[in-house]
Amino acid sequence: MSSQSVTFRAGTLGYTRFGLAMLFFWLLWGYFVYLLMEAVIPGILPLLLREHQATNMEISFITSSLNVIGNTLFNPIVSFLSDRHRGRGGRRRPFILYTTPLVVLCLALIPYGPEIAQFLEKFPATRAFLSFSPITPVMLVIGIFVMGFQIFDVFVGSVYHYLVRDTVPEEFLGRFQGMFRLIGGLAPLVFNLGIFRHAETHMKEVFVGVALFYGVGMLLMCWKVREGEYPPPEPVTRSPDSNLAARLWGGVSHYFKDCFRDPVYWMCFLGIGFSIWAGMGAVFAVLFYREELGISLAVQGNVLAVNNVLTLIIALPIGYLVDRWNYFRLTQIGGVLQGGVCLAGFFLIQDVATLVIYGIGYTIGKMTFTMGLTRTIIAIYPKEKFGQFGSAGAAFSSLGAIGMSLLAAKFVDVCGNYRSFLLWQGVFLVAGGILFLAVERRWLKLGGKKGYVAP
């Protein structure tokens, strides 16, 4: 590509208008196939587990908790290594390329867990081993495949976002996020309308088909998206000849000192945490709507569809606004609006009509906050260590989520009604929006838009 034809740049990468359009297409294609794959575990796995007499605790643990554990343990490691990797394939794509086949394998094997457990029980040694498990052999085998899936999925799910940061020109990040959220609304619609209905009658075919589609689609994205060149990473330990324990301790120490050394970072992590912890109460939403308002699941689904369509409509305009306006302000307004709608909903939601109005306000606030936040953290985190800092925020919020989920349940128990989840959400979301005022002030002190240098 000649220098005269280059119109936009992201680091050492140069794009023509057509090249930028193709970059957007392939990155969004990768996100689309990723979201289809991600919908299988929460959408269909509980049906498989219930079919084989899993308890509610087992369903909750295998479906949700394994994801939190995998993300908390492996996201910081993967992100740190990805930031520091240098190779012919780039620093991000190798982590996706080498683990995507493993994600496909684990996901495809999940529905075959009962048959595999039955086969293993034919051998005395494995039957004796399985007998030590506190859960049934079927749940154990399915759980192992789910855990494998969650571990390898961390490599893809986290590094994909860093690949976007490295390859998309900064002046288009807001508009890309708009398209990103557009796909985020489209993929669930495709899954729910075209795939989910076949889950009960063709469980294995759905798992295997989605896994293969994901694998081919993600590898195709890695082939079409190229990475630029990066400067050598800074050394973690002073002595390259130090032993393994010293290198490990050096890496861990370097990670925490780096990520929490300035208030602009840990206040941002806390703000992200508030938004995640607010969602710990949302698990009771479906029970509130059905048991206290008497709204059927079918009607709830229609209300959610309205919110999905609204997401498709407002994603691009908000993305354009992120590029043109103060993204810190959008984050603050979105958080306060989202939380304020929840607090108002606690008093006002009485029927389907008021639920629809609540959903519209909540969706607008959520999209504004999420898209503003995405651009905000891009402005704050060091570009060369974006994965490391992104993982620190994710690990911080994930660790807190374990305890906050229990506190949210206790809060609902004490209040004596499911409606109280709206109070829980509202307080956390408003607090998160307000906290980003302090984040912006610290960012301005460090130079702001024109002079900010990551501390």
Residues 6 or more apart in contact with residue 371 via CB below 8 angstroms: 174, 177, 178, 181, 315, 318, 319, 322, 330, 334
Same domain, yes or no: 374 and 295: yes
85, 34: one domain: yes
Tokens, residue 307: 């919110």
Other CB atoms within 10 Å distance of the CB of residue 317:
11
State the residue for tokens 């605790």.
Answer: 57
252, part of any domain: no
pTM over 0.75, yes/no: no
Are 218 and 320 members of one domain?
A: no
Residue 248 in domain: no
Name the 3-class secondary structure at 48: helix
Q: Which of 368, 336, 306, 377 is nearest to 181 (CA)?
A: 368
Same domain, 189 and 308: no
The verdict on 219 and 266 lying in the same domain is no
Q: Is residue 288 part of a domain?
A: yes
- Same domain for 263 and 147, yes or no, is no
Instruction: Say yes or no: 59 and 181 in one domain.
Output: yes
Q: Do 95 and 185 belong to one domain?
A: yes
User: Which CATH number is 370's domain given?
Assistant: 1.20.1250.20
In sequence order, what are the residues at sequence separation of 6 or more whose Cβ sits closer than 8 angstroms to the Cβ of residue 126?
120
End-to-end alpha carbon distance in the chain: 36
According to DSSP, residue 400 is labeled H
In a domain, 64, yes or no: yes
Sign of CA dihedral 368, 373, 379, 385: negative
Please tell me whether residues 204 and 274 are part of one structural domain.
no
Angle, vertex CA 397, rays to CA 392 and CA 399, nearest 5? 95
The last residue of a domain, from among 224, 246, 275 = 224
In a domain, 322, yes or no: yes
Assess whether 23 and 91 both reside in one domain. yes
Q: Which pLDDT belongs to residue 2?
A: 47
Assigned domain for 301 exists: yes
Q: Which of 179, 203, 224 is the last residue of a domain?
A: 224
Write the DSSP symbol of residue 8. E
Quick check: is 34 in a domain? Answer: yes
Regarding whether 386 and 330 lie in a shared domain, the answer is yes
Is residue 229 a part of any domain in this protein?
no
Give the domain range for residue 89. 3-224
Residues 180 and 303 in one domain: no
Structural domains counted in the chain: 2
C-alpha span between 209 and 342 (Å, rounded): 38
- Kindly report the CA angle at 35 between 153 and 259, in degrees rounded to 5? 50
Q: How does pLDDT run along the chain (455 residues), one tens digit per residue?
A: 444 566 888 888 888 889 899 999 999 999 899 988 888 887 677 778 777 877 756 766 777 667 767 777 787 788 778 887 888 888 889 999 999 999 999 999 999 988 988 888 888 877 777 777 777 788 888 888 989 998 899 888 888 888 888 888 878 877 787 787 778 778 877 776 677 767 778 888 989 999 999 999 999 999 999 888 888 877 665 555 555 566 566 667 777 777 888 888 889 999 999 998 888 777 677 677 777 888 876 677 677 778 878 887 888 888 778 877 888 899 999 999 999 999 999 999 898 899 999 999 999 999 899 888 888 888 888 877 777 788 888 778 877 877 787 787 788 888 888 888 899 999 999 999 999 999 899 988 988 877 877 88
Domain endpoint, select from 172, 197, 224:
224
- Residue 289 DSSP class: I
Residue 13 backbone phi and psi in degrees, to 5: -85, 140
